[in-house]
Amino acid sequence: MRMVCDRVLLREIYLSNDRGFFQVFAWRDLATTSSNPRHVCHTCVATAALHSFKISLIPLSLSLFSKIAGACKKMASGGQDFPPKTQERLPGKEHAMDPTPDAFSADYKPANKLRGKTALVTGGDSGIGRAVCLHFAAEGATVAFTYVKPDEQKDADETLRLINQHKADGAREPIAIATADVGYEENCHKVVKEAASHFGGAIDILVNNAAEQYYPCDVTEISDEQLESVFRTNVFSYFFMTKFAVNHMKEGGSIINTTSVTAYRGSKKLLDYTATKAAIVGFTRSLALQMVEKGIRVNAVAPGPGWTRLIPGSFSEVMVTEFGKAVPMRRAAQPTEIAPSYVFLACREDSSYITGQVIHPNGGEIVNG
């Protein structure tokens, strides 16, 4: 029997095991021409779009059920499985990642939300930082970002190329600011000074995003050096960058800090990293209260598992292959899925009444934060 399977349209699939055989409850097009629901193409069942007309009960064999379940899993995960590849040196290199993280989606529709604004992003050479730079530039902002030289030079050069490719008309040339370590006050002062000079004096948006992590980190094995390094990059830099940047910010400015879902649910394998991310939440809330009288909003973004260089740079091969599968969406996010949260918080017209808050693009984890 030949089935016109492209007429099958699904809204949602429910799998059950009833009376010893598998069934699927499927919304099906009234015009479906097949006279035998058993012959519904499993590819169509798993990929059909948002249409609903009528409910049918379809008895399935175990083999067909397995095919449908596998296809449904791919829908949830985007069909993305990460290969068991790691990098020997932290923080990792984005240009060496397989697959390469997606920093900007072709489906994103810029709307000049940040036209005429200036933005400074720490750790902007890769990962979420790169994606934020690209989205800000596409929305019309002039962007400056930091990177560590020489380790991150290649990624920084690529980020500059991509910013120039995506930036809106009217946005000025971006700059990449090399620094040895943003965990030290003097270096942060130099970064802000160079960025402000490039921008003509004003900084409208500050994104504190630089981060590092180590795995594993049993509490008995964390050295003084590692603890200080993680806190300097993940917490001290946020204080120092803010300390100097606010002198160049006016009413309507926005500070956005990158925290993590681990700050809310904890992580026994990322103890020191999680502690820094929790500190960022407290810093964000307190700074928001301090800055409100100046008309500067302070918020944070707490991503869930995101495919960035920190993952192959600090995780084992097994952890890389399983990365992201524990969240309800059963997949890791691409950086381009996280960046619009920063655009929202940076745009005064979109978020003028929001300060001291945290946005949670985390794949469905309920954190009540």
**What is the pLDDT, as a whole number, of residue 252?**
98
Report, as an integer, the average pLDDT of 53-67: 45
Which one is catalytic: 238, 264, 273, 342? 273
Percent of the chain whose pLDDT exceeds 90: 60
Provide the whole-model pTM. Answer: 0.76
> How many CA atoms lie within 13 Å of 147's alpha carbon, on the beta-carbon side?
26
Within 180-270, residue ranges assigned H as helices are 185-199, 224-231, 237-245, 262-265
CA–CA distances in Å: residue 172 to residues 143, 154, 249, 352: 8, 22, 19, 25
Helices (H) and strands (E) in the chain, counts: 13, 10
Kindly give the interhelix angle for 127-138 and 335-346, rounded to the nearest 10 degrees: 50
Higher-pLDDT residue of 263 and 40 is 263
Report, as an integer, the average pLDDT of 137-159: 95
Q: Around Cβ 229, how many Cβ atoms within 10 Å?
A: 17
Sorted by where each starts, the structural domains of the chain and their CATH numbers stand as 5-77 (no CATH), 94-359 (3.40.50.720)
- Reading phi first (left if > 0) and then psi (alpha if -120 to 50, else beta), residue 92 is in left
Is 273 considered catalytic here? Answer: yes
| Identity at 164, one-letter amino acid code | N
